[in-house]
Structure 1
Amino acid sequence: MTPEQIETFFGRITDPSTSRPVAPMRSQPTSLLRTSLRDRALFSLLYRSGLRVGEALSLDVADVNLEGGTFRVVGKGNAERVGYLSEETRPLLRRYLRSRGNPQAGPLFESREGRLSYPMAYVLFRRYAEGLKRPDGKPVTIHQLRHAFGTERAGRMDALVLRDLMGHRNIRTTLRYARVSLERTRQAFEEFDRQHTRKLPRGRGKGAPQKG
């Protein structure tokens, strides 16, 4: 997802502290306030902390340390790692949990039926991401929030640190994000060069300073 698409996506999820509009919802498993807080917190966690969708949905309240800004998550291969909450995500989670009465146990993200499921999270994502397309014309996917986390940090962060944050077992997986980031840099350069760079005059040697 491009930075512009990220901005559009989050702009469609109501922040209860503002009057920003919410994307139309056909069904609301909980109150609008709680749903909005949950959705913003979930998608912010994917985008700001780089979690896989399944990892985020598997989190329990007890896995999160809001005061310390950390969480423990079990990733692929049952490998446990420590993740970090951004300054934006932390207050969202705090407000969301407060709307649920500050539970001390149970799933971090809930629906009316219990733990929020992957299919439900995907449906929510599609509603907020309606009309957003990848370069190949296909709709953006929920995984691209994590992908955006990686590409935005590739080249600006030590690859080993990024590997640990994203829970990759192989550094080669992490380095793919660096290649994607470099390709986007090249595309941006070429686009600007085509549209905004003035062509230099063709020299004919007239008026050139004489040697000596």
Structure 2
Amino acid sequence: MSVVAFPGQSDSVPDSATGATTGMTTMVAVERFLDSLTAVTTRVGYAETLARLTAATGPAHPVAALAPEHYAAVMDRWKTAVAATWNRHLPALCSFTTWAQRQDILATNPARHLERRKPARRGDRSISRTRLETLFTDTGHALRERLLWRLLYDTAARAEEILTLNVEDLDLEFRRVRVLSKGGAIEYVHWATPTARLLPRLLAGRTCGPVFLADRRAPSSGRRAPASGDVCPVTGRGRLSYPRAEYLFNTASAQLDPHRQGWTLHQLRHSALQHLAQAGRTAPELQAKSRHQHLASLGRYVRLGEETSARITADADPIQRRRPR
């Protein structure tokens, strides 16, 4: 008599003591969850967090045996980070938990002890134009980084949207690029002349694959091997990751930051929108540039900050006003 295996039986793990199976492994469950995500930017962001979950439990750990301490070990990496960073990684674990419960492979909620953090009220997050121009034009930084920073500022796009771009998405003639935005919508963002001058130099004739490439060739096999769409067919190098791009920008900008802490890639979006607001652009114009669904969401981006305060103070200075023009 032939025996037919049930679907998913090969994903089960035998218990070392009894020989019984304990269900799907965490590694397999994570892979299936990521495959279920349609938004590329979400999948890339969640993959970084969930890779730490697999590393913390081990590849053969049953997903049904996940516990709060496993999730705590993952989030411990960002324990001292700002609230925004903590809140960016936590949804990956929560979404994975919800998916696993719906698949009936996880009965508990290992994320029950984790909570979103309330971000501190921050003042002006924009970077002055002068400092940005110094950073953008410093040839001591690699071409890839200078183009990435300039493109983020020109387009006011989210870093995830730009880092997931492929060469095929670029429209060099009309200086625009097709991005997959939050929610999965296909939209276009536009760049200016400085970006247009740098792009051909970085592409160097490439017609497909990721726009921004990592420094090394991507592994062709094993757990660290990226998807084929994230590898350049010409150079064999993988796509530049968000953590690496963030680290390089933070390190480079620390020299210009008065507090020597460096800036984040997201501050380039803040700066671009705030500088446009300072130049007198209307709220609908800013909404068209930022692609926010609601005007109210623009408030934290276009709050006129330090530069405006300094200019108003100088204009109101009684000594300044008495000087001959």
Q: Are 1:42 and 2:148 counterparts?
A: yes
Q: Which amino acid aligns with 1:92?
A: L
CA deviations on 1:53-84 (whole Å, 9 max, x unpaired) are 11110111111011121111011111221111
The 8 Å contact of residues 132 and 140 in structure 1, kept in 2 or not, is answered as no
Aligned length in residues: 175
Q: Which runs of 5 or more residues in structure 2 are unaligned?
A: 1-126, 219-237
Q: Are 1:166 and 2:290 counterparts?
A: yes
Q: Which amino acid aligns with 1:5?
A: R
> What SS does structure 2 have at the residue aligned with 1:103?
coil
CA deviations on 1:142-167 (whole Å, 9 max, x unpaired) are 21111111011115223223212212
Is the alpha carbon distance of 1:97 and 1:141 closer, same or farther for their aligned partners in structure 2, counting shifts above 3 Å?
A: same
CA deviations on 1:110-141 (whole Å, 9 max, x unpaired) are 1124000001101210232123337x875322
Instruction: Output aligned runs, 1:188-199, within 5 Å.
Output: 188-194=311-317, 196-197=319-320
Q: Which amino acid aligns with 2:209?
A: G
Q: Are 1:152 and 2:278 counterparts?
A: no
Is the alpha carbon distance of 1:97 and 1:125 closer, same or farther for their aligned partners in structure 2, counting shifts above 3 Å?
A: same
Number of the residue aligned with 2:173: 67
The 8 Å contact of residues 157 and 290 in structure 2, kept in 1 or not, is answered as yes
The 8 Å contact of residues 50 and 150 in structure 1, kept in 2 or not, is answered as yes
Taking structure 2 as the reference length, the TM-score comes to 0.49
Q: Which runs of 5 or more residues in structure 1 are unaligned?
A: 15-21, 24-35, 200-212
> What SS does structure 1 have at the residue aligned with 2:301?
helix
The 8 Å contact of residues 154 and 272 in structure 2, kept in 1 or not, is answered as yes
Number of the residue aligned with 1:132: 256
Range moving further from structure 2, 167-176 or 88-97 = 167-176
> What SS does structure 2 have at the residue aligned with 1:88?
helix
Instruction: Give runs of ≥4 in structure 1 deviating > 6 Å.
Output: none
In the alignment, which of 122, 130, 146 is matched to residue 4 of structure 1?
A: 130
The 8 Å contact of residues 158 and 266 in structure 2, kept in 1 or not, is answered as yes
Q: Which amino acid aligns with 1:104?
A: T
The 8 Å contact of residues 5 and 132 in structure 1, kept in 2 or not, is answered as yes
Counterparts of 2:321 and 2:314, CA distance in 1: 13
Q: Are 1:105 and 2:208 counterparts?
A: yes
Mark the structure with the bigger radius of gyration.
2
CA deviations on 1:88-129 (whole Å, 9 max, x unpaired) are 10121111111xxx2221111111240000011012102321
User: How big is the alpha-carbon RMSD for the aligned residues of Structure 1 and Structure 2?
Assistant: 2.5
Counterparts of 2:239 and 2:193, CA distance in 1: 25
How many Å apart are 1:194 and its aligned residue? 4.0
The 8 Å contact of residues 159 and 175 in structure 1, kept in 2 or not, is answered as no
